[in-house]
A = this chain, B = another copy of it.
């Protein structure tokens, strides 16, 4: 016999009344409540959340789809987790390691009602295919999605990128390299577009041979700068996809005894602690607001009240690398 039933028997009250006490319903006689609470304590009672979830059709859990936890994403994750917690939602992590099958598991869990909603940080499956899961619950994406009906809270990074570029140009740097992330992502496209538009508008040459891709972490950044520095003509400035790449470039450039920023100017992206500590000029990215908006979007679908999204803006943070 479950503890719930034991409480019913010992107290002499019905299932409904016991349930009311458990859920703090106001419609219970105070004496009754006290009596039942007493017995609950005595039995060391704790409600079974699986039973609650089954009965309510809700788990109060939100899944996060991501290839692998990484420095560049934890800030977003922390803010998202906290926003969710504020509304009584817990967060479960689905790391795919880039494996499509593993990733799909998260979406199957939305179907299977293990989670009430899904946040996509990065995904490897076809967005069109994933869109089919929208009918099982709210899905929001951080990364911009090229197809399907999955909305994204991401900003157009081209705008932020333009800030960095114009800053470099204002400082007199024109021979500028670009260090991107995923070659076909919308962010990369948007950045490339912004870069080329501004350069051409000013009549400056666009050096495609100074583009580098798949530069995510510091070690990638080092590697990228080695390959750029080894060219006949090396650039005098680099625009980066994130602060980690920028840090790697800075570290490698120092090893080469380059004067920063005279011989090499560097602009990072995101304004993380790393760029602050290393003194890297960067673009402030309103991560917290995006994370909150991501949760709000889900909440506005499955929650009772509706929350207003926060406004989003990029901002240049000038430090010692420009």
Contacts and interface: CB of A to CB of B under 8 A. Distances in A.
A98 interface: no
Q: Is the interface of A mostly helix, strand, loop or mixed?
A: helix
A10 interface: no
A192 to B, nearest CB: 26
Interface in A152-210: none
27 contacts: A46-B112, A48-B54, A48-B113, A49-B113, A50-B54, A50-B114, A51-B54, A53-B53, A68-B78, A69-B77, A69-B78, A71-B74, A78-B95, A81-B93, A81-B95, A90-B93, A90-B94, A91-B92, A92-B93, A217-B273, A219-B273, A219-B276, A219-B277, A221-B277, A222-B277, A248-B277, A254-B254
Interface string A238-264: 000000000110010011000000000
Residue of A61, A69, A218 most packed against chain B (CB within 10 A)? A69
B108 A46 contact: yes
Interface in A82-115: 82, 85, 90-95, 97, 102, 108-109, 111-114
CB-CB nearest 9 A-B residue pairs: A218-B277, A46-B111, A50-B53, A50-B54, A49-B114, A92-B92, A49-B112, A69-B74, A46-B112
A278 interface: yes
Contacts of A92: 61, 90-93
A221 B78 CA distance: 22
A301 interface: no
Contact of A277 (B50, B109, B251): B251
A128 interface: no
A219 B255 CA distance: 22
